[in-house]
Structure 1
């Protein structure tokens, strides 16, 4: 039998160490399932061009077009930044403290969703390595036990020894086959997740500052208008128009 045939033959229940092989195969299936789920999830949350999306949102905020900005966030679907922006825009006129608190709260709810199940890949990588090592030790135990058996001829001893070593090598090989991709995938997903989180932090802070700036300008304008309404008065006498502020003449116009 060639290597591939011998390797798959190790899954046969008649072979020693087959339990380790099937447990490792289960780890591989779980790893594949998590990988597919994370790929779909992160691709939907990252968006195609977050920078361009947020530039449009900020431009709409500057133009006081909050309704259109909300529509853009809704159309963006499940993108993480769109979710945060939509939540914050819903309370755009709430004041600085409320806006900053809402940004922090929303970002903190997004981060666990982005990181969910990614850590399992690292766990599978470590567990697969240890299971492979356990299978190796089991195979070596069988090998040494066969050598120490009395009343067995040399040919049978060599057969049992080879079988034990094969068990040890098969479990080690499969354990590494599962562990190495799992650890690499964990690192890749971790990097992608951190990239999305950094983008959300950066753009949410920019948007919050822009909303706070707009709220300050609006509040300042309202206060100024209110003060003018209360303090400015006009008197018309003959051909003269007199403007008073706080009962003081500030301008006189001849008509």
Structure 2
């Protein structure tokens, strides 16, 4: 066995050297590919960085646990039982402390100023639209990248072809077909780069759009359960009975008792006229 060790060591060293050589060759080809596109390839690279950053951020933000925390989902599914047990205040506090879209929508559903379920439904739908728009943050930027990356690639290709044929037109010698082919191949690199950026971005955009639709559908079901349970068990009357006594901290602040009262216009004008008469006399 001992006489095989030098052979094994030599094979390992040769394999490492070959791997390093291949790696260096691949890196050189990638670098040449990027440089061959000129300024248009630079713009495409910027598009790729933007798409990558937005994709990672939105994939993290649109996780099920981030938008629909499991504990909060469980509370909303058991909303009917919670109201019957007289724990409406605890449920509202739980929704208010949850920094999630479904928590914010749930707080709106339980506000006391909605006398009927229809009023609460309208307010919930308006808030839900705002939350969905917030969930869609960044998707418009991905759509822009999907549109302009291939166009930048096409523009770079056309620009490269114009340069190739302009050089051929100025040359008095017989054109070398291999040189022409090499020039056209370089010009097509930007098209490849633009498509390489656009295709993965389309996939991510489609995935995120479907995720948002699924999240919105799930939130609609959960908030529907909450609305039904809230109004079946008293609705705004829960505040009058004192069963919910912590909601006012997140409602718009009422006018303070120390604030100066609003003056009636007639009283102000009457005082002004009286002052004018006293000065004249």
| TM-score normalized with structure 2 length | 0.66
Residue 42 (structure 1) aligned with residue 65 (structure 2)? no
Structure 2 match to 1:179: 198
Structure 1, 40-49 or 100-109: larger mean CA deviation: 40-49
Which structure would you say has the larger RCO, counting Cα contacts within 8 Å and 6 or more residues apart? 2
Structure 2 match to 1:115: 136
Q: Which runs of 4+ in 1 moved over 6 A?
A: none
Shift of 1:97: 3.7
Alpha-carbon contact 1:10-1:18 (below 8 Å) kept: no
Pick one of 142, 150, 169 that aligns with 1:148: 169
Partner of 1:78: helix, strand, or coil? coil
Alpha-carbon contact 2:76-2:225 (below 8 Å) kept: no
Gap change, CA 1:66 and 1:50, over 3 Å in 2: closer
Measure the CA separation in 1 of the matches of 2:192 and 2:72. Answer: 42
Measure the CA separation in 1 of the matches of 2:57 and 2:99. Answer: 15
| Structure whose residues are more often strand by fraction | 1
Pick one of 47, 52, 69 that aligns with 1:27: 47
Cα deviation code 1:39-73 (max 9, x no counterpart)? 23222224347653421334312323111102322
Structure 1 match to 2:274: none
Please list, as runs of the form range in 1=range in 2, the aligned pairs for 1:1-255 lying within 5 A after superposition.
5-12=28-35, 15=36, 17-43=37-63, 44-48=66-70, 51-75=73-97, 77-91=98-112, 94-155=115-176, 158-159=178-179, 161-215=180-234
Alpha-carbon contact 1:128-1:179 (below 8 Å) kept: yes
| TM-score normalized with structure 1 length | 0.72
Measure the CA separation in 2 of the matches of 1:54 and 1:154. Answer: 75
Measure the CA separation in 1 of the matches of 2:113 and 2:234. Answer: 8
- Give ranges in structure 1 of 5+ residues lacking alignment: 223-255
Measure the CA separation in 2 of the matches of 1:175 and 1:18. Answer: 13
Measure the CA separation in 1 of the matches of 2:222 and 2:33. Answer: 53
Alpha-carbon contact 1:143-1:162 (below 8 Å) kept: no
- Two-structure CA RMSD over aligned residues (Å): 2.9
Alpha-carbon contact 2:147-2:198 (below 8 Å) kept: yes
